[in-house]
Amino acid sequence: MGRNVAIVGATGAVGVELLRVLEAREFPLDALRLLASPRSAGRRLRFRGEELPVELLGPRSFDGCSLAFFSAGAGVSRAWAPRAVEAGAVVVDNSSAFRYEPDVPLVVPEVNAEAVLGHRGIVANPNCTTILLLVVLAPLHARAGVRRCVVATYQAASGAGAQAVRELEDQSRALLAGEEPRPERFPRPLAFNLFPHVDSFLPEEGFATREEMKVVWEARKILGVPDLALVCTCVRVPVFRAHSEAVFLQFERPLSLEEARSALSQAPGVRVVDDPEAAEYPTPRLAEGGDEVLVGRLRVDPSCERGLCLFLAGDQVRKGAALNAVQIAELLA
């Protein structure tokens, strides 16, 4: 049986990708309602060969709706997700609004699919950087137990939304024309630059950024390891799409390189791309548009006992958001 589905934030970077993923996976639905702010109400978006109208999010938006994807930021989720649940819908929320609430499952289907069973109307989609990391980390953790994890990220402009992509385009053109780029959404010029500043700084967390702490808080919740030793530096880079991460792991138990490679080769949602001499390793361009998280540059970390280094890249709009949300909806069905 199909369902009536709503997408809040349908015109955004993640919303548009949700339409693509629902179409590609032939997700069973009877009707699809596209919702956004007054800026986009009245526009039309293509889905399964039809032009669907974008409606203004409002009090009647969830009438008759059984499933709602939220992808319009935490404020909109806080204000409207409970109303969607009241109207009888199950909400899959892409924002950070409910991720840390104990009765809200935080789910990466390849890692903790069973957690979805405990939902009480809302299931949270983790942060994109966390999803990509955990798809790779979980199979290694299952084999050898992660004792410590150090991550540095290389995050694409699209992680900050559709407008941020346009800002990188405009800045790149301006710089090439010899003009000074003007940052609007980003704190610094991003074109031909990078900066270690994604989301706000948290004085109470030693001036880690919220994005960096999201990875820590969420990895602990999803893996069920409340004291997992994890530290992260998040860096915005002038890439349009797909995040990359350099990951340094130390394990509790011995894990040879061959065992790590074998665990990753068999892991769902992972593709090993690791022939460095042929210049084959994960890159954002290779990851763009794909469902899998690419992992390579696997090597022993000689600086500690039972250490492993790796590099991963994944499309954060797709697996880091839209695809993960649709996979959650498939689990719910």
**Active site positions, annotated:** 128, 243
Assigned token pair, 325: 């949300």
Which part of the chain contacts ligand NAP (CB under 6 A), choosing from 23-31, 69-77, 217-225, 285-293? 69-77
Residues counted in the chain: 333
Residue with Cβ nearer ligand NAP (93 or 274): 93
Burial of 143 (C-beta count, 10 Å sphere; 0-12/13-18/19+): middle
Binds ligand NAP by CB under 6 A, chosen from 109, 296, 314, 320: 320
Least gap, CB of 217 to ligand NAP (angstroms): 15
The answer to the question of residue 314 lying near ligand NAP (CB under 6 A) is no
Cβ neighbours of residue 30 closer than 8 Å, sequence gap 6 or more: 2, 3, 4
Interaction of residue 215 with ligand NAP, rule CB under 6 A: no
Comparing every residue's Cβ against ligand NAP, the nearest one is 12
Residues 25, 31, 32, 33, Cα dihedral to 10°: -170
- State the Rg of the chain over Cα: 20
Q: Print the binding letters for residues 74-113 with ligand NAP: x by CB under 6 A, - otherwise.
A: x-x-----------------xx------------------
Q: Which is nearer to ligand NAP, 76 or 298 (CB)?
A: 76
In sign, the C-alpha dihedral spanning 105, 266, 141, 323 is: negative
Q: Is residue 237 part of the contact set for ligand NAP (CB under 6 A)? A: no
From candidates 23, 25, 29, 73, binder to ligand NAP by CB under 6 A: 73
d(CA 106, CA 95): 11
Nearest-5° angle of CA 70, CA 74, CA 77?
45
Q: Which C-beta is closer to ligand NAP: that of 158 or that of 250?
A: 158
Of positions 89, 321, 323, 331, contacts ligand NAP by CB under 6 A? 321
Applying CB under 6 A, among 105, 109, 159, 269 the residue interacting with ligand NAP is 159
Q: Which is nearer to ligand NAP, 153 or 250 (CB)?
A: 153
Quick one: how far is CA 210 from the chain centroid? 15
Quote the least distance from Cβ 236 to ligand NAP, whole Å.
12
Tokens of 66: 């059984």
Region of 109-117, 145-153, 161-169, 228-236 interacting with ligand NAP (CB under 6 A)? 161-169
DSSP 8-state code for residue 216: H
Nearest CA to 244 out of 286, 186, 300, 190 is that of 286
Distance CA 313, CA 56 (A): 35
Site residues for ligand NAP per CB under 6 A: 9-15, 36-37, 39-40, 57, 71-74, 76, 94-95, 128, 158-159, 161-163, 316-317, 320-321
